[in-house]
Amino acid sequence: MTHRLIAFVVALLALAAPALAAETKPDVKGLYLLSDYPAVTVQPGTTSTVSMRLRNYGLAPERLSLAVAGAPAGWKATLLGGGQPIAAAMPATDDSVSFDLRLDVPKDAKTGTQTVTVSADGSSQHVSLPIQVTLAKELPAKLSLTPELPELRGSTRSTFEYTMTIKNDSGKKLLVSLAADAPRNFDTSFTEAYGSQQLTAIPVDAGKTKDVKLKVTPPDTVDAGNYPVTVHIGAGDAKASAKVALDITGEPKLTLAGREGLLSARATAGTESSVPVIVSNTGTAPAENVQLSANAPSGWKVTFDPKSIERIAPNQHKEVQALITPPSKAIAGDYVTTFNASARGENGSANFRVTVTTATMWGIAGVGIIGAALLIMVGAVARFGRR
């Protein structure tokens, strides 16, 4: 019967020769019990799963009863297929059936190597596979973490992005949790290597790697310096960590205000008024050559005394005088004037509200007119006064 079947297959192959020429048929025949890792290491008191396959190469389907032998006393060895305990399997021709061997190892099991034999018995086929189970107190590291560029440099306003590779060296898929240990007030977040979704954990297949990106945002007020960040990943007992560092260069930050933080000033139309402006550097590096300028309504003349400041050290301030001259035809009321201070890319500005009052000359002229009218009256009284 076997020979006839082979003859039939050969005939079929001959007919389909041009189409199947590309496919190389493995020159294997028979029934095999397979496992990716037939020797595993487990810890006492844990459950370990070994995935297995029953492969049929060119044989007719057959019912094969499965059994586990050689499990030491106290161990529990269960065969699971499709989520439930199984006792037999039936792989089709040139197909395989997957199942798991679950080993519940008691806590008090002795360290050492045990051999558990899984066998499949049919009417014509008998296969078995010994699986070596080594009991060890400590499992070898299963995760590793490698940052691509561990040292980045930038200012407080830049974002630091570290791409790192997580490798799962263990025999099963792990959900790896991510955490970063950053200095106080540093903001950290993990995202996918190409994506914006923030993550706290990422699944990594057995033996595979995955890239994640760590984004660190330093606070604005941080001083220049080197700041380490430690990244911890973990899945169950497996842990790994890596160190990255931020090299923050300081930068100046300019703010403007009046004395005592006042942002209002008074000016008289047509005359120059002096407004004290305090330029402060709240950044982390000195500001050099600070230029002062103003955006005022058209017709206004705004100059600064002095026009520029040589240097402002961090957390220091300098006072300048803004000399504001509204046009003589300016209408009384409030106007917005913007004062700017700029030092090589760094810019600070403040909106000042300038209250313009009109010159009092016309008020005096009005008093003069009333006075003249009264004089006329006095003159009339003196000239025309009579009984």
Chain residues that interact with another protein, rule: CB under 8 A: 296-300, 327, 329-337, 353, 355, 357-358, 360, 362-363, 366-367, 369-370, 372-374, 376-377, 380-381, 384-387
φ, ψ of residue 339 in degrees (nearest 5): -100, 135
Shortest distance, CB of residue 307 to another protein, whole angstroms? 22
Three-class DSSP category at 14 = helix
Q: Give the torsion sign (CA, 278, 284, 286, 290).
A: negative
Shortest distance, CB of residue 269 to another protein, whole angstroms? 10
Q: Which is nearer to another protein, 108 or 334 (CB)?
A: 334
Strands 316-325 and 225-235: unpaired
Q: Which is nearer to another protein, 60 or 376 (CB)?
A: 376
First and final C-alpha spacing in the chain: 163
* Beta carbons within 8 Å of 242's beta carbon, 6+ residues apart: 145, 146, 147, 150, 164, 230, 231
Q: Give the torsion sign (CA, 266, 270, 273, 279).
A: positive
Shortest distance, CB of residue 338 to another protein, whole angstroms? 9
Q: Which is nearer to another protein, 141 or 372 (CB)?
A: 372
Q: Which is nearer to another protein, 77 or 275 (CB)?
A: 275
Q: Which is nearer to another protein, 58 or 297 (CB)?
A: 297
Shortest distance, CB of residue 301 to another protein, whole angstroms? 13
Q: Which is nearer to another protein, 23 or 334 (CB)?
A: 334
Q: Which is nearer to another protein, 182 or 267 (CB)?
A: 267
Task: Name the helix (H) or strand (E) containing 112.
Answer: strand 112-121
Shortest distance, CB of residue 328 to another protein, whole angstroms? 11
Q: Which is nearer to another protein, 246 or 324 (CB)?
A: 324
> Residue 298 and residue 349: Cα distance in Å, rounded?
19
* Cβ-count burial 322-337 (b if 16+ within 10 Å, e if not): bbbbbeeebeeeebeb
Shortest distance, CB of residue 340 to another protein, whole angstroms? 15
Shortest distance, CB of residue 360 to another protein, whole angstroms? 7
Shortest distance, CB of residue 330 to another protein, whole angstroms? 6
Give residue 73's Cα distance to chain centre.
50
- Written as six digits, the tokens of 204 are 């990594």
Give residue 268's Cα distance to chain centre.
55
* Beta carbons within 8 Å of 133's beta carbon, 6+ residues apart: 39, 40, 41, 42, 48, 103, 105, 113, 114, 115, 116
Burial of 17 (C-beta count, 10 Å sphere; 0-12/13-18/19+): exposed
